[in-house]
Amino acid sequence: MAFVKAYEDYCSARTDAPVLFHRYAAVAACCAALGNRVYFDAGWERVYPAIWVCFYGGSGLRKTTATGFPISLLNEVDETLPLPQDFTREALYSQLSERPSGIMRWSEMGAVLKALRRDYNAGTIETITQFWDSEPTVTRRTMGQTYRIHRPAVTILAAAKPIWFIQDAQREDVRGGFISRWLFVTAKRPENSFGHFMHDVGDRSVAAHQRASLVQHLRQLSEYEGEISAGAGIEVLERWLVKFEQAWQNENADPADLSQRAGTQIVKLAIGIMASRGTAELGELHPKAVEQAIQMYSYAFDCARDLVGQIMSNDRDRDREALDRVVSVVRAGGGTMKQRDLLRATKMTLRSLEPYLQTLVAAGRLQKRAEKTAGGPSIQYVLQEEDEE
């Protein structure tokens, strides 16, 4: 991976972000440069080398910095490759209907997902998920416009703090398949850290040559077009998948279904790795590239499993707290409370409150009553104390 090594050297002279971050970022840059002009025919559909990589960890790991270098280089190749960071639904659909491939940078993953969950962005996360799946055409309708996005291939580089996964990630993100499409990568900060600024990056002419060489490599990729055939690499992948799927076929051990997308993730990574060696390597899946892709995927898989465990555990804790809170509010209201008063007292939306009410009714903790009033139907919830049997 000549490009990857050159990229690591160039970035390491400018930031003390972990080299591991640079490795994944380099492959992501190659994937983004290829866009939707290069693909592997998996039988059911084309697989484009569009990967989603999230660097996570505590402060000082230079996560955001590591996501910035590929954007800077790709912008020199083609200023339309880095996709605009406007996360309104209409703006995103409009941009991608005109330019269905490129790279997005989420400097704070949690903030982006909060924006995408707002009512006016409803359905955007589901649409982005379809992009990863390489669907031939994604059609979206808004109030006054129909957007058709043909052959989407969107690479995403993101940074995130662990606190986001603890406080804001939801079980729906896990069960819905959004989390499973990411390659999560964390690493320790280098021992020989040089702080915020690198004061001596060596010979400026050498540095300029290094950068120019990286840009030229990505430019060549951006001009390449072709299909990747199976080659001998597919046999390496199939043998590994048989063992891997046997180990992770229990959904209780893999609640996010991370293992179900292992094959596709590895193919995407392998194409990016081959691209890092040059366009001459893009004829067929090469066994060595597949082996390296398996190593990269396996590391990210272990990182993702740790995060999913945190999300599921903390989501259960949040559920228990929310359920106890609803019961306490009804009890404080005398044991009977109208739904509208519950919304005010808990400061929750009906969408977020309703699942807890349904759980409590099903568990026999609350009884739901609908009464007719002059102003229309009124829904009340009555507390069923455990000692009232």
Give residue-wise pLDDT tens across range 41-78: 998 889 999 999 999 988 788 999 999 999 999 999 99
If you average pLDDT over residues 125-138, what whole number do you get? 87
Q: CB–CB of 63/55 below 8 Å?
A: yes
Residues 138 and 210 in one domain: yes
Q: Between 312 and 156, whose confidence is greater?
A: 156
Q: CB–CB of 337/380 below 8 Å?
A: yes
Q: What is the pLDDT of residue 315?
A: 60
**In which element (H, E) is residue 161 found?**
none
Residues 339 and 310 in one domain: no
Q: What is the pLDDT of residue 239?
A: 96
Asked if residue 128 belongs to a domain, the reply is yes
Residues 352 and 304 in one domain: no
Q: Between 93 and 272, whose confidence is greater?
A: 272
Asked if residue 322 belongs to a domain, the reply is no
If you average pLDDT over residues 8-34, what whole number do you get? 95
If you average pLDDT over residues 162-184, what whole number do you get? 76
pLDDT band at residue 197 under the 50/70/90 scheme: low
Residues 295 and 342 in one domain: no
Residues 76 and 207 in one domain: yes
Q: What is the pLDDT of residue 388?
A: 34
Q: CA 261, 300, 7: angle at the middle one, nearest 5? A: 115
Which residue range is the domain that position 347 belongs to?
Answer: 333-383
Strand bridging mode 52-56 / 153-160:
parallel
Q: Between 85 and 21, whose confidence is greater?
A: 21
The predicted-structure confidence for 206-230, as pLDDT tens digits, reads as follows 788 999 999 999 999 999 999 999 9
d(CA 281, CA 219): 16
- Given a cut of 80, whether residue 251 has pLDDT beyond it is no
From 279, 314, 349, the end of a domain falls on 314
Residues 289 and 377 in one domain: no
Q: What is the pLDDT of residue 358?
A: 81
Asked if residue 55 belongs to a domain, the reply is yes
Mean pLDDT of the chain: 86
Q: Which residues contact 278 (CB under 8 A, 6 or more apart)?
A: 2, 3, 217, 220
Which of these ranges, 1-10, 86-95, 141-150, 339-348, has the smallest mean pLDDT? 86-95
pLDDT band at residue 387 under the 50/70/90 scheme: very low
- The CATH number covering residue 228 comes to 3.40.50.300
Q: How far is the first Cα of the chain from the last one, in angstroms, to the nearest whole number?
A: 70
From 260, 281, 314, the end of a domain falls on 314
Residues 42 and 104 in one domain: yes
Residues 360 and 264 in one domain: no
Q: What is the pLDDT of residue 119?
A: 77
Q: What is the pLDDT of residue 233?
A: 96
- Given a cut of 80, whether residue 129 has pLDDT beyond it is yes
Asked if residue 183 belongs to a domain, the reply is yes
Residues 210 and 348 in one domain: no
From 285, 314, 343, the end of a domain falls on 314
Residues 253 and 309 in one domain: yes
Q: What is the pLDDT of residue 350?
A: 82
Asked if residue 7 belongs to a domain, the reply is yes
The reported pTM is: 0.79
Residues 294 and 345 in one domain: no
- Given a cut of 70, whether residue 243 has pLDDT beyond it is yes
Asked if residue 88 belongs to a domain, the reply is yes
Asked if residue 388 belongs to a domain, the reply is no
Residues 170 and 271 in one domain: yes
Q: Between 377 and 198, whose confidence is greater?
A: 377
The predicted-structure confidence for 290-345, as pLDDT tens digits, reads as follows 999 999 999 999 998 888 877 776 666 666 778 888 889 999 988 999 888 998 89
Decide: helix, strand or coil at residue 288: helix
Residue ranges of alpha helices (H) inside the chain are 2-12, 19-34, 63-77, 89-98, 109-116, 124-132, 162-167, 171-175, 204-222, 233-247, 262-276, 287-332, 339-346, 350-362
Q: What is the pLDDT of residue 389?
A: 29
- Cα separations (Å) of 39 from 25, 49, 129, 149, 223? 20, 7, 18, 17, 14
Number of domains composing the chain: 2
Asked if residue 290 belongs to a domain, the reply is yes
If you average pLDDT over residues 77-104, what whole number do you get? 88
Q: What is the pLDDT of residue 202?
A: 60
pLDDT band at residue 363 under the 50/70/90 scheme: low
Q: Between 365 and 7, whose confidence is greater?
A: 7
